[in-house]
Every structure is written in C-alpha cells, then in structure tokens.
Amino acid sequence: MHETLLFFLSFLFLALSHFFEILQQIDLHLLEWINHNRIQSLDHFFIFITNIATVTTYSVAVILILYSIIKKRFLLQRKSWLVLISLITTSAIIDSLKHIVSRTRPFITYPSIHNLVNVSTPSFPSGHTGEVFVLATAIILLFQKQKWCVLIVWIWAFLVAYTRLVLGVHYPSDVLASMLIGTGIGIAFPKFLIKRGFLQHHIRWERLYSKWKE
C-alpha cells in the first residue's frame, strides 16, 4: 500500500515537473517572438510609456481626489479614494509576491532576450501591469457613464502591459498574472467597501469592522 502511494506521488511529481517545464518553454518562446519581432523604431516610445506608467497611474487617482475636493463633489471624492486604495493594495500584494516567488528576470536567465531597460527586482508578477489594470477595472466599475474615459484607460492598460514584454523585462505569465490580480482587486475591493456604505455620507465604521470579521 505504502509502495503504491509512494509510486503515485513520485509519478505525480514528475508529471507536474514536466508540465511546468513545458509551460516555461511556451512562456519563453512567446516572449522571444514578441521581443524579437517588435517595431524597433518605436523602442524609445515603449521605454517612455513604461517609465511614466506608475507615475501616470497614481496621478490619475490623486488628481481625481484633488478635483473632487476643490469642486466639493462628495461622491466623486469617495470613488476617487476607492481607486487610490485599490492601487495601493495591488502594489502591496504584487511587491510581496515578487519577493516570495523571487523569479529571475527573463533577460538575465536567457541572453536571447533583448532588454531595453535595466531592472533588478524579481520578475513575477509585473508591478506596472497590475497597477494599470486595477486602475482600468476600478474606473470602469465606478465611472461607467464616462465611456470615453473608460476606453482611454483600457488602451493605456494594454499598452503598458505590452511594453513590459516588448522591452524584455517580463515573461507573458508575469503579465497575465498581474492582469488577473489587478482586475480581481479592481472589482472586489471597491464592491466590498461600497456594500459597507463607503459611498454614503456617514460611514458606520463599526459596521465595516464587523462585516470584515465575518
């Protein structure tokens, strides 16, 4: 009985190892194709987009907050705070995962990848991608009537995600994971606080705390 179980576990371990090795090869080949077939005349544009991604993303939330305070628009102010809180939460989760997983950047492991910007932090998941996708998701959830704004922010999100691959600093799986994390937090976090009265004039913090414990 014990020998059968040991054989099964060994087989499962080998099968999973082979499976993840195949996924890693797919990840690498897809990145090589994107990285090697980029439009090189746009390299400086891609570098510029990736360099301003974090500042631009956080600036949107801060500008919305300042504008709502100046114009004394309470609902806009609360929605803007939700965007900023979602951004900060996403950044904290992704930074934690980076150091837990500690995946080496693709251009360090594989010299065939041309890196156009230098980074020293771990690869998985992509911080830039997570930030832009949580922003895009929160915007579409909280500002549904402003369709032009939603379109612009989603174009921005996919453009930033693409630059992380073109510049050779992330695997596709890094970017995909961050898309899922950013989208998930962008949906779940605002909905969680909205259900607990965050958009109302008077928040009952004891109710929020009790609901959180549940």
Strand, helix or coil at 116?
Answer: coil
* CATH number for the domain formed by residue range(s) 2-213: 1.10.606.20
pLDDT by residue (tens digit) across 59-109?
999 999 999 889 888 888 888 898 999 999 999 999 999 999 999 999 998
Amino acid identity at 75: L
Asked if pLDDT for residue 208 goes beyond 60, the answer is no
Residue 1 banded pLDDT, cuts 50, 70, 90: low
What is the full DSSP assignment across 31-81? HHHHHHTS-GGGHHHHHHHHHHHHHHHHHHHHHHHHHHHHTT-HHHHHHHH
- Give the pLDDT score at 11: 47
Higher-confidence position of 159 and 9 = 159
Going by C-alpha positions, the residue among 133, 138, 136, 117 that lies closest to residue 174 is 133
* Average pLDDT score over residue span 194-209: 61
Residues of the chain with pLDDT > 70: what percent? Answer: 83
Q: Are 84 and 186 in contact (CB under 8 A)?
A: no
- Mean pLDDT over each residue of the chain, to the nearest integer: 83
Chain-centroid distance of CA 195 in Å reads 24
Residues of the chain with pLDDT > 90: what percent? Answer: 51
- Give the pLDDT score at 203: 52
Residue 5 banded pLDDT, cuts 50, 70, 90: low
Residue 197 banded pLDDT, cuts 50, 70, 90: confident
Q: Which of 115-124, 126-135, 154-163 has the lowest mean pLDDT?
A: 115-124
- Give the pLDDT score at 24: 79
If one counts every other C-beta atom within 10 angstroms of the C-beta of residue 95, the result is: 15
Separation CA 109–CA 120 (nearest Å): 13
- Give the pLDDT score at 205: 44
Going by C-alpha positions, the residue among 123, 131, 124, 127 that lies closest to residue 185 is 131
